Amino acid sequence: MNKIKFVAISLIAFLTFSSCSSDEVLSPEEISEQLFKTYQLKRDINGAYSLDIIVEDNISITKVKNPTNNTNQFHLLSSNSKVAQKSYYGSDLWFDNDNFRIEFISENFNKTPSISIIDDNIKYNKKGDEEFLKEYSITKNEEGSYDLDFKVINNVGVDFVYDSENNVYEIHLELDVNTEGNNTYSRTFEKADDELLQIHFVNHITGSAKGQVPITERRPVIIIDEGENGE
């Protein structure tokens, strides 16, 4: 009888220890934060997009083109093998007409951060020399902010406007012969919880013919969603 009691007590102690040990396992949110660190999406001077993803050690990345929702999906998984912390993706980013979307899917995590772009697809619309915006990049920082760096052609005025009604950061570009100096700009944006971060480049294009009505074109458009609603 004493032996049976001893075994029972030992079993209880083992289960208690196991329970305490399991409490030390990282929660899904903590795991996902370790899987994914930062990324940078860039459009070069030719209009081509590329993506750099930086992760923690031993995290593998698998790229999947999802035809159901026309999305570039990057699946992040824990790996026992040593893998590169930085991964580059270039010409294989998938456009749906003039739009493309990137999703970051981490194992054991119900949020799906994403970035969507509306811009000319250079496969069908070659970038012209007269386009105001030469190149740009958007970088997600580890603390959650986003850095936007961009360059414009000569004689283009730049004005930063916040549309509070629609929650959109607008960057207005317009020909201005009086503009001189640096053509490179940088801005850091803080994303509010449960809201999209929207950045629109607003191009004010004046017609070359006399009497031609000026037009306004929003392109590129950047929409960042951290997946707070599990979407």
Rounded CA separation 63/74 (Å): 5
Look at residue 27 and tell me whether its pLDDT is greater than 60.
no
DSSP symbol at 206: -
pLDDT band of residue 67 (cuts 50, 70, 90) is confident
pLDDT band of residue 177 (cuts 50, 70, 90) is confident
pTM: 0.80
**CA diameter of the chain:** 105
pLDDT at residue 87, as a whole number: 85
CA 205 to chain centroid, in Å, comes to: 28
**Cross-strand partners of 65:** 72
Look at residue 20 and tell me whether its pLDDT is greater than 50.
no
pLDDT at residue 57, as a whole number: 77
pLDDT band of residue 94 (cuts 50, 70, 90) is confident
Question: To which H or E segment does residue 30 belong?
Answer: helix 28-35
pLDDT at residue 223, as a whole number: 98
Look at residue 168 and tell me whether its pLDDT is greater than 70.
yes
Rounded CA separation 231/208 (Å): 44
- In the chain, domain spans: 28-225
Which residue has tokens 């940088």? Answer: 186
Rounded CA separation 41/137 (Å): 6
Supply 133's token pair: 């915006």
pLDDT band of residue 154 (cuts 50, 70, 90) is very high
